[in-house]
Amino acid sequence: MTRLIGNIIDWSSLDAAGRRAALARPARRSEAQVTDGVRAIFDDVQAGGGAAVTDWSLKLDGAAPRRIAITDQVVADARASLPPAATRALKIAAENVRIFHQATRPDGSQWIETRPGVRSRIVWRPIGSAGLYVPGGTAPLFSSLLMLAIPAQVAGVARRVAVTPPSKDGRPHPAMIVAAAEAGLDALWLIGGAQAIAALTFGATFEDGEIEPVAKLFGPGNAWVAEAKKQASALPGGPAVDMPAGPSELLVIADRDADAVVAAADLLSQAEHDPDAQVVLVSESKGLIDAVLDELELQLETLPRADIARAALSEGRVIRVKSVAEACEVSNLYAPEHLALQVLDAEKHVERITAAGAVFVGPYAAETLGDYAAGPSHVLPTDGGARTLGGITTASFMTSMSVQSVSAAGAAGLAPVAAQLARMEGLEAHARAADLRSGQ
C-alpha cells in the first residue's frame, strides 16, 4: 500500500536544518503568484472601488457582490429550509460561544495605588468597526461566522461587517443566514477572496449598499485571503489584523495507547478543509504510526472530500520521537493552530505546551467539537503565529488603556522622582512639567 504521507521522519537523526525543514509549512502558502495577484487586486480596488470589486468577483467567483439583509422574513425562510435538528444545533453552538465569551470578556482592573495619592487602572473599550471574513466556496463555514460575530458583539463593537464567498448558485447557504441571525447581524455581504479584504480595507460602494473601511480585519481563509490581510495591514493607515489565519493545521501527539482510528479521523478532519492544510502526526510508537497510516487509507475511501484531503496529506508529516515529552518539544517548535494530545495522562502534558492556538486534551476532546460548539473561538493563529499570538477572544475586539489619577499630595511625592529621571535623559521640558506639579 502506498503511504499517503510518505516516509516517517526520525526526529533524533535530524540536524537543526533538517528539523526546520521537517516542520516547514507548505510552499504554496507563500508563492510569488499569490503575493503578486493580491497586490494587483488591491491596486485595482483602491483605484476603482466597488466597480473593481465587482469585476474581480465576477472573474473569480462568477457572481457580483450582494448585500443580504437579515430580516425576519429572510431568517424565517432560511430556518424553514433547514431540518429542525440543524437549526437547533446552530442555536446551541451560538449559546455556547456567547456563554464562553461573556464569561471571559475583560472588564478592567481596580484602582491600584503605587504611591499614596497615585492611582492607576486599566479600562477596556470596544474597537469601532470590525471586518469579519467567513470562508465559503467549497464549504460554507457558517461556524466561523458564529466564532467571529458573537465575540465581536459581546465586546460591544458598533459596526460589524461580515463577508463570505457566494456559493456556486450565487446565493447564501441558509445555515449562514441563520448563523448571522443568531449572531445579531443586520446584513451579510456575499463577496469572497482578496477582493473582499480589499473592499473592507478601502471601502466600496455597490448598487445595494456601501462597505465603509473597517478598523480591524478578522477571520481565517486560504492563502489569498491570508496574504490580503497581510498586505492590508502593511498599508499606511491600513486596518489592523487579528493574526495570520491561513489554511488549517493540526498536530496530533499520540502514544502507543492511542486509538489509531480516532487519530486518523482527526487528521482527516483538518486535511479535508483545503489542499493547503497541513496535518502532522508525532509519536514514539512505530506501531501506532503504522496503524494510523493504514487507517487514513481506509477512511479516505468513503470521504466525500477525499481529493482535497489527499492533496493536503501530501504536505503532511509523520515524525517519530523518543517520548511524549520530546513530542511536546516538537509541537512547540511547530506551534500548531490545533494540537491534539491523545496520550495517557494527557492533562499533565498541557504544562509542557508553550505554543498552540488551541489544545484538545484526551481522546474525547475532538478538535471538531472545538470547531463547532464547545465555546472558544476556532479562529486561531496559523503558520507559527501561536508562538506569540492567541486565538480570537472578546479582547481581540477591544483595546485597553491605562487611566491615571494623581492627587496634590501624590504629585508632591512623585514629581521630583519623575523630574530627576527626565533630566538624566536630557529632557528638560519633561522635568519642568513635573516640577510644576510639585510646587517647585
Q: With respect to residue 313, please indicate whether it lies within any of the assigned structural domains.
A: yes
Identify which has the larger pLDDT, 9 or 6: 9
**Res. 6 pLDDT band, cuts 50 70 90:** low
- Residue-wise burial string across 215-254, b where 16 or more C-beta atoms lie within 10 A, e elsewhere: ebbbbbbbbbbbbbbbbbeeeeebbebbbbbbbbbbbbbb
SS3 content of the chain, % helix, strand, coil (to 5): 50, 20, 35
Any idea what the CATH number is for the domain that residue 386 is in?
3.40.50.1980
**In terms of domains, do 37 and 23 share one?**
no
Domain containing 421 equals 407-438
Q: With respect to residue 4, please indicate whether it lies within any of the assigned structural domains.
A: no
d(CA 241, CA 439): 46
**In terms of domains, do 291 and 415 share one?**
no
pLDDT over 80 (residue 27)? no
Neighbouring-strand partners of residue 125 = 399
Q: With respect to residue 395, please indicate whether it lies within any of the assigned structural domains.
A: no
Please answer whether residues 169 and 66 qualify as being in contact, where contact means their C-beta atoms are separated by less than 8 angstroms.
Answer: no
User: How many domains does the chain fold into?
Assistant: 3
Last residue of a domain, one of 184, 216, 242: 242
Q: With respect to residue 401, please indicate whether it lies within any of the assigned structural domains.
A: no
Q: What is the mean pLDDT of residues 38-50?
A: 97
pLDDT over 70 (residue 2)? no
**Res. 1 pLDDT band, cuts 50 70 90:** very low
**In terms of domains, do 424 and 333 share one?**
no
**In terms of domains, do 306 and 426 share one?**
no
- Predicted local confidence at residue 30, as pLDDT: 60
d(CA 102, CA 122): 19
Q: With respect to residue 215, please indicate whether it lies within any of the assigned structural domains.
A: yes
Each residue of 395-406: pLDDT tens digit?
A: 999 999 999 999
d(CA 330, CA 66): 45
**In terms of domains, do 135 and 218 share one?**
yes
- Predicted local confidence at residue 300, as pLDDT: 95
Q: With respect to residue 1, please indicate whether it lies within any of the assigned structural domains.
A: no
Q: With respect to residue 332, please indicate whether it lies within any of the assigned structural domains.
A: yes
Q: What is the pTM of this model?
A: 0.91
Enzyme catalytic residues: 337-338
pLDDT over 90 (residue 244)? no
Last residue of a domain, one of 207, 242, 277: 242
Q: Give the percent of the chain with pLDDT over 90.
A: 88
**Res. 137 pLDDT band, cuts 50 70 90:** low
Q: What is the mean pLDDT of residues 69-85?
A: 97
- Predicted local confidence at residue 194, as pLDDT: 97
**In terms of domains, do 344 and 205 share one?**
no
**In terms of domains, do 264 and 386 share one?**
yes
Each residue of 311-368: pLDDT tens digit?
A: 999 989 999 999 999 999 999 999 999 999 999 999 999 999 999 999 999 999 999 9
**In terms of domains, do 307 and 192 share one?**
no
- Predicted local confidence at residue 170, as pLDDT: 77
Last residue of a domain, one of 242, 269, 290: 242
d(CA 93, CA 371): 10
**In terms of domains, do 281 and 165 share one?**
no
- Predicted local confidence at residue 169, as pLDDT: 77
**In terms of domains, do 421 and 385 share one?**
no
Mean pLDDT of the chain: 94
* Range name among 3-7, 183-187, 390-394, 409-413 with the lowest pLDDT average: 3-7
Please answer whether residues 294 and 262 qualify as being in contact, where contact means their C-beta atoms are separated by less than 8 angstroms.
Answer: no
Q: With respect to residue 16, please indicate whether it lies within any of the assigned structural domains.
A: yes
**Res. 28 pLDDT band, cuts 50 70 90:** low
- Specify the pairing of strand 204-206 against strand 278-283: unpaired
**In terms of domains, do 189 and 200 share one?**
yes
**In terms of domains, do 143 and 182 share one?**
yes
- Predicted local confidence at residue 29, as pLDDT: 58
d(CA 215, CA 233): 10
